[in-house]
Every structure is written in structure tokens, then in C-alpha cells.
Structure 1
Amino acid sequence: MKLKKGDKVIVIAGKSRGQSGVIVRVLPEENRVVLDGINLSKRHRRPTQKNRKGQIIERAMPLHASNVMLVDPKSGKPTRIRIVRGKDGARERVAVKSGQTLK
């Protein structure tokens, strides 16, 4: 998976289409990502001995990685990512549209 925690992405499909956010968590086994404040779902928490009051919690749910695209740091538009070998042999992620190296 070419997406990493902390990447700025834009949602390209689904009910959150057009919204942008930062990746908080990556789930590579499921090919999904969790974005900060996007794809929120309400979860009901049952009252327990520790937590006397039940409550409704809004939680960010995972999106499939194919439904998001990385935002190009130069233009601010969605772009694909290419992996290239640097001069020292290390793998680097490069934005396809601008050719700019990503951290």
C-alpha cells in the first residue's frame, strides 16, 4: 500500500466525495484507511460498571484505499503515486502529476 499515516488525501468516491483529510490509521491487511473527521458513524455505548452512563459516540470508520487519492503538494489536486529508487537506493514516493518527492 502506497498510502502512509499523515498523508493528506481527498475522497474520490462515496458519500464523502470531495472532502479532504489526513490519514490517521492505515489497515494494510484490509486495504483500508481511516481519515480524521471523515466517514463518521454513530456508535452506541452500553452503560457498564465503570461507565455508568451510556452514550452515543461519533467514530471515523475506515474507507477503502481505492476511494481516496493523495493530494499533490505542489498543485493541491489529486494525484497518483509512483515508487522510484533514489540515488542511494532507497525507495521514494513521487507524485505522478508534478514529479515532486513525498516524505
Structure 2
Amino acid sequence: MPQQKLHVKSGDTVVVISGKDKGKRGKVLRTFPSEQKVLVEGVNMINKHTRATQENPQGGIVEQEGPVYADKVMVYCSKCQKPVRTGAKIDDKGNKSRICKKCGVEL
């Protein structure tokens, strides 16, 4: 199966549109295109049990973000103050940029 492109990139501000974290907003920390998942700051928090190591002699339970499906998030437009769909715009020089479908501002 060919790898599909995601509609979000690392560094985008996104809003979760479904699931237990619906309505939460956060920054995309990392993308996993092969799995169609993204890691969003403060969303889908999981408890990871860590073994004691030299770097972490205490060990214990660490709370961290878990990946969520990219379908469950939408890019947040700071001008519209809403989650929006994105479109592409090509300028005079041939550079492609993403725009908000509602207000047309560059994301």
C-alpha cells in the first residue's frame, strides 16, 4: 500500500474533532504518515511504565502523549478562530502554500 500524505504538518495548531479529547487544541509534535497518525501536544495522554535506568534511576510512571489518527484532527485558523479545511494556493513565483478555505488567509 503506498504511503499517503497527511493534511497536517509538524508545528501546525490543530483541534481534535472527535473522541475523548474532542475540542482540545494543541500543536502537532510529530507525524507518522505510514500509520496515518499524528502526535498532538496535550492530547491522548497515556501512562507509560518505565524501568529504572542510569538516566532515570527512579523509574516509575510517566505521562506522555499518544498518537491519534490524523482523520480526527483539523487545522486551526487563528483568524477564523475555528478548525478549518485547507486549500492550496500557488503564487506568482510558483511557490505552493496552504490557505484557509473559509477566510483565505495563509496558514
TM-score, reference length from structure 1: 0.90
Show the counterpart of 1:36. 41
Q: 1:39-85 CA distances to partner (integer Å, 9 max, x unpaired)?
A: 1000101234x244331000100111110001112111010011222
The yes-or-no answer on 1:57 pairing with 2:68 is no
Show the counterpart of 1:66. 71
**Match among 10, 13, 16 for residue 5 of structure 1:** 10
Q: 1:7-40 CA distances to partner (integer Å, 9 max, x unpaired)?
A: 1111001100011111111112211111111110
Q: Following the alignment from structure 1 to structure 2, what is the Cα–Cα distance between the partners of residues 9 and 98?
A: 17
Show the counterpart of 1:87. 92
The yes-or-no answer on 1:21 pairing with 2:39 is no
Aligned partner letter, 2:58:
K
TM-score, reference length from structure 2: 0.86
Q: Is the 8 A contact 1:10 1:68 kept in 2?
A: yes
Q: Is the 8 A contact 1:11 1:17 kept in 2?
A: yes
Q: Which runs of 5+ in 1 are unaligned?
A: none
Q: Which runs of 5+ in 2 are unaligned?
A: 1-5
Runs of 4+ in 1 over 3 A off after TM superposition: none
Q: Percent of counterpart pairs with the same letter?
A: 36
The worse-fitting range, judged by mean Cα deviation, of 82-91 and 11-20 is 82-91
How many residues matched?
Answer: 101
Aligned partner letter, 1:7:
D
Q: Following the alignment from structure 1 to structure 2, what is the Cα–Cα distance between the partners of residues 8 and 52?
A: 35
> What is the RMSD of the two structures over their aligned residues, measured on CA atoms?
1.3
Instruction: Give the match's secondary structure for 1:101.
Output: coil
Show the counterpart of 1:78. 83
Shift of 1:5: 1.3
